[in-house]
Every structure is written in structure tokens, then in C-alpha cells.
Amino acid sequence: MANVAVIGAQWGDEGKGKVVDWLASRADVVVRFQGGHNAGHTLVVGNQTYKLSLLPSGVVRGKLGVIGNGVVLDPEHLLLEIAKLKEQGLSVTPENLRIAENVPLILPLHPALDKAREAARGANKIGTTGRGIGPAYEDKVARRAIRLSDLAEPEVLSRKLDELLLHHNTLLKGLGAPTFEKQALLDRLLELAPKLLPFAEAVWERLDAAHHEGKRVLFEGAQAVMLDVDHGTYPYVTSSNTVAGNAAAGAGIGPNRIGYVLGIAKAYTTRVGSGPFPTELHDETGRLLGERGREFGTVTGRPRRCGWFDAAMVRQAVKVGGVDGLVLTKLDVLDGLETLKLCTGYRIGSEVVKRLPASIAQQEAAEPVYEEMAGWKESTKGARSYAELPAEAVKYIRRIEELVEAPVVLLSTSPERDDTIVLRDPFAG
């Protein structure tokens, strides 16, 4: 049986939580390999709804969860999320959660800087969540990050805080924001140390052992390919690589162990925050998609911008993301629409292209080239086989497959876990 990596194939919020939950029931280990608590996965299990933003989704299914070194970890948020799950009857302990000992930590100064810089941008703001993800990754690359293992060495921690505060307090002061005192940070980190260190280990060793034992590993990505810091609509992106290739670096495995790559896409398109969105709808149809799809960010609560399915963008995500097969979610949101549109490319000036260019000016100037298809009147909600789908819905799916050059292997027709049409088992390789 193969491992599976799940990534978003649009701008995030594609419904990865349900898909990961469904896959996690058949996996042995679930690994988060990038991002931080700026990601949001909503899982509906029976009468319970779990909202996770940092913990691997597998913990809800009683599977071993792993937070890899590619994640930036806010220790305060982690403990709050664990406490919230405990209130819902789920226990998260070192028995079912392991954290890479070399994971970088998000400290209070990171969101402070994040928010101060976003405010300074004014009308040119990027639309970050303000949770300190970007500044934490900057510290990692600049080699001044506080890592989980540092909490076991107070003298090292103290020395590293000196360097960190020299940098951050200078920036905060320049932006007119409050600065931070070392002793308060040091005291709090040392207070958190005994709560966090029991979870720490060299997770690359555990994952290597899992491979040799023939266990199935699910790699859970956050955000999506078009938010990738290299391949997305830069600078309106996240601060990490969201493509499947980063599962290797972010978890500590070889690239040959990533396995089958599953890309998640909605049957339409949404985006939270700022940035180009060629197929965005500002009309009644856009409002209808938002209302039916309950399009609000899991983390931010911000309303998502809605538009037609952008096949040109998803095709690009398939290519750079290494996607083997697609999961199409929220098909039922399109029920009853008389006409549907698929974006097959973009008109930029006098030229028509089938990819989003790297230039932000060209991205903003891109006008969608549409292909129209007939909609369907019947309901697709809860369908569990292609035989239960209207003929026009099947035609819509088949046309998406042709345009994005990837097969649809799973189809989600409602938030319920079992309302899933399975055309291919990703774990079969």
C-alpha cells in the first residue's frame, strides 16, 4: 500500500478536512508538514464538528498525529487546541501526538510584527491572518528561530532570545508598535517547556520506522498550491511551500516515500484575503455560491470570495503540485444553476494564455476565457455513486478532467464523511 499526500489545488479552503478525515480512517500515521495555525480544517463526525488549525486531522480518528519540522508551531495555540478537543471528549497526549524536536516556534512577537507590517501596508495589504506565520518562517531562514528543542536548554534559550529581540524590537519600534521584554518571554517559555517537551522527538526516525513496518502514512498539507510561496500568486501567498514535494523536507523523509498525491478542488473557486482572482463573481451568482457553500474562513471567519471553476489555474496546480488525482468537493452547491462556466485560459492584452503568469500586473490584468455548460436541476447532495448523479453533472466532471489533465478519483457531495464517491483508492498507489 502506498502513502498519500493531500494538498489543495486552488487557493485553500477546498474541503481538505473532510477528505483527510476520510483517508485518516485508513492510515496509520497522519503528518502535518508545513504551515502553522493559519490553516483551518473542519471535520464533521456524527453530531460533532471539530475545527483544527494546527493538530493533524488524524487525532480525531485515534491515529498517531505528527507535526513535522516544516511547520511553524505556536505553543500557546497548540495547548488551547488540545484543551478544546478535550472538552469535546478527545484526549491528545504524547501517546498519539509527536512533534519534531527541530520545529520552529511562533512567539508573541511574531503576530505583533505581522499585524504591524500589515497595518503599515495600508491599501497594499497582503491579507495575512496576522498569526505570525511569515515572521516565524523569516526567523527560521535567518537562523535565529527558537526551536522546540531549545526549551530544554535555558542558557541557550536565553542567548537566542537576545538575538531575536535585537532584530524584532528594532522593527517593532520603527513601525510604532510596542516592543517585548526578554525576561517575560523567557519565563513563559520555561513555564511551557514541561508541557511541550514530552511531545518532542526526532520524528524522521519514527517515520522511517513506519516505512519499514509497512505502515500507511498520510501527509496533510495546509493552504494550497496557488498560495505556495514560489508557485502561487506572489506576494499574495503564504510563507511556505505548499506543493507535495515539500512533504519530504517538511517531514524528514525521502521524496520517493511521499506516495500518491491527491489534489483537492472545489467544483467552483473561492479565495480568502487579497490577491488576483480572475473568475471572481461580484453578482447574484457569486453571492449564491457563498451562501450555499457557507463560505467563511475556518481560521479568520472572513467571507470567501467566490467564482467559477478555474480549470486553467487547477491545471497549473496539478503540474507544479505533482497531483496524481483530484478530489472534487461541494458539487452540490452548483445544484439548480441553469448555466455553468469553466475558465479555460486568460486573455491578457491581445494574447490568450493557459496559465497564470508570475507577473502580478499580468495576473491582475487577466480576463477569464469561459466555456459554458448546461447545469442540472436535480440534487446531487449525498450521492454515493455516479449512477445517482444527473447526466449533466457527470458531463461537467468529465470536462474538468479533460481541462486540468488529471482524473477525478474522489467526489464529495456533502460535508458528511460518508457522502463520498470513490473511483480509486489513493492508498492503492
Q: Which of 41, 110, 168, 231 is catalytic?
A: 41
DSSP label at residue 367 = E
pLDDT digits (tens, 9 = 90+) for 346-399: 999 999 999 999 999 999 999 999 999 999 999 999 999 999 999 999 999 999
Residue 97 has pLDDT above 90, yes or no: yes
Q: Which of 13, 21, 310, 324 is catalytic?
A: 13
Q: What angle do CA 238, 315, 361 make, to 5 degrees?
A: 55
pLDDT digits (tens, 9 = 90+) for 278-288: 999 999 999 99
Q: Which three cell numbers stand for residue 106?
A: 511562533
Residue 44 has pLDDT above 80, yes or no: no
- The predicted pLDDT at position 316 comes to 98
Residue 337 has pLDDT above 90, yes or no: yes
Lowest mean pLDDT among 25-29, 43-47, 211-215, 360-364: 43-47
Mean pLDDT across 15-40: 88
pLDDT digits (tens, 9 = 90+) for 150-167: 999 999 999 999 999 999
Task: Parse the chain into domains and list their residue ranges.
Answer: 4-100+200-260, 109-196, 265-428
In angstroms, the first-to-last Cα distance of the chain is 6
Task: Report the alpha-carbon distance of residue 123 to residue 139 in Å, rounded.
Answer: 26
- The predicted pLDDT at position 4 comes to 97
Mean pLDDT, the chain, as a whole number?
93
| CA-wise closest residue to 14 among 46, 49, 41, 53 | 41
**Assigned CATH topology for domain 265-428:** Adenylosuccinate Synthetase; Chain A, domain 3 (3.90.170)
Lowest mean pLDDT among 56-65, 275-284, 405-414: 56-65
Under a CB-based contact definition with an 8 Å cutoff, are residues 348 and 362 in contact?
yes
Q: How far is CA 324 from CA 13, 35, 409, in A?
A: 20, 22, 9
283 tagged catalytic: no
Confidence of residue 299 (pLDDT cuts 50, 70, 90): low
DSSP label at residue 40 = -
- The predicted pLDDT at position 128 comes to 80
Mean pLDDT across 318-335: 96
- The predicted pLDDT at position 173 comes to 95
- The predicted pLDDT at position 39 comes to 74
13 tagged catalytic: yes
> In the 3-class helix/strand/coil scheme, how is the chain assigned residue by residue?
CCCEEEEECCCCCCCHHHHHHHHHCCCCEEEECCECCCCCEEEEECCEEEEECCCCHHHHHCCEEEECCCECECHHHHHHHHHHHHHCCCCCCCCCEEEECCCEECCCHHHHHHHHHHHHHHHHCCCCCCCCHHHHHHHHHCCCCCEHHHHHCHHHHHHHHHHHHHHHHHHHHHCCCCCCCHHHHHHHHHHHHHHHHHHEECHHHHHHHHHHCCCCEEEECCCCHHHCCCCCCCCCCCCCCCCCCHHHHHHCCCHHHCCEEEEEEECCEEECCCCCCCCECCCHHHHHHHHHCCCECCCCCCECEEECEEHHHHHHHHHHHCCCEEEEECHHHHCCCCEEEEEEEEEECCEEECCCCCCHHHHHHCEEEEEEEECCCCCCCCCCCHHHCCHHHHHHHHHHHHHHCCCEEEEECCCCCCCEEECCCHHHC
Element (H, E) at 422: strand 420-422
Amino acid letter, residue 58: G
Confidence of residue 129 (pLDDT cuts 50, 70, 90): confident
Residue 43 has pLDDT above 80, yes or no: no
* CATH architecture under which domain 4-100+200-260 falls: 3-Layer(aba) Sandwich (3.40)
Burial of 45 (0-12, 13-18, 19+ CB in 10 A): middle
Lowest mean pLDDT among 79-93, 165-179, 314-328, 405-419: 405-419
- The predicted pLDDT at position 1 comes to 58
Q: Which three cell numbers stand for residue 139?
A: 526567523
| CA-wise closest residue to 25 among 420, 429, 390 | 420
Superfamily for the 109-196 domain: Adenylosuccinate Synthetase, subunit A, domain 2 (1.10.300.10)
Residue 45 has pLDDT above 70, yes or no: yes
